[in-house]
Structure 1
């Protein structure tokens, strides 16, 4: 694990689960959504000095595992992420929050724009992440 010891594997797994929840909110995950996630990790997330490649790979691995299993309720995954965020508030700085929101929005917009399910989840996420 890498550059900042505060960010554990659990952090990256929760973020990967959140991104899967966003992608699966409409009950299907499109290949464009997976591609956008990978591109976001390599372009935006890696440019932040807090994270290293190995740690960020956990996001993609978690997303891929959930996609392969295809038996998780997106709303349950979302709620699990929110519980984690509320327990580990110190990790969710403005930089981290912005990265999460940018990536979540990019995933939701990657295939035929955002649908109602994704919009609702994104709106709830933005409210939750901006809470003090």
Structure 2
């Protein structure tokens, strides 16, 4: 696997962690939030680039795979936000303005999926926006 493909897969895996952190901000990932994530992956993330995983499927599916795996782990989302933050700092070239906008839109859509954004989810999205503005 080429290094750029490896970084591409890590990019999507880290997005899965971030989106899980947003959904888990209120200590509960609801089925509607998972459904909203899947919808965004299929409608928006599959078209971001041509990177494939080792199974020759679109690497964007890594978002769902990681999200599902973390959901089964039932851990706190803050650690995963921090992991995403480190990846972002190490690979800023992966985050074009258009991609940052899509990340924020996806996060807000997940947060709004169940009875609108609550305080915890709003804080997670605020931290994300603050990270992207630096």
TM-score (norm 2): 0.87
1:68 paired with 2:72, answer yes
Q: Is residue 32–residue 114 contact of structure 2 (8 Å, CA) maintained in 1?
A: yes
Q: Verify the 8 A CA contact 2:46 2:58 in the aligned structure 1.
A: no
**Size of the alignment, in residue pairs?**
128
SS class of match (2:72): helix
**Residues 2-41 of structure 1: pairs in structure 2 closer than 5 A:** 5=5, 7-41=7-41
CA 1:7/1:120 → structure 2, altered by over 3 Å: closer, same or farther?
A: same
| Compared CA separation, residues 45 and 20, structure 1 to 2 (3 A) | same
Instruction: Trace 1:72-111 onto structure 2 (pairs within 5 A).
Output: 72-111=75-114
**CA RMSD between the two structures:** 1.7
SS at structure 2 position matched to 1:36: helix
Q: Does 1:113 align with 2:113?
A: no
Distance 1:115 1:79 in 2: 20
1:38-81 CA-to-partner distances (Å, cap 9, x unmatched) read 000111112334556520111100000000111x2211111111
Q: 1:50 to 1:102 in 2, by over 3 A?
A: farther
Residues 4-51 of structure 1 show CA distances to partners (whole Å, capped at 9, x for unaligned) of 748522111110000000000000000110010000011111233455
SS of match in other structure, 2:58: helix
SS at match of 1:55: coil
My pick for the range that moved more, 25-34 or 40-49, is 40-49
1:6 and 1:75 mapped to 2: Cα distance?
A: 24
Which 10-residue stretch deviates more, 17-26 or 53-62? Answer: 53-62
Cα separation, 2, equivalents of 1:8 and 1:49: 9
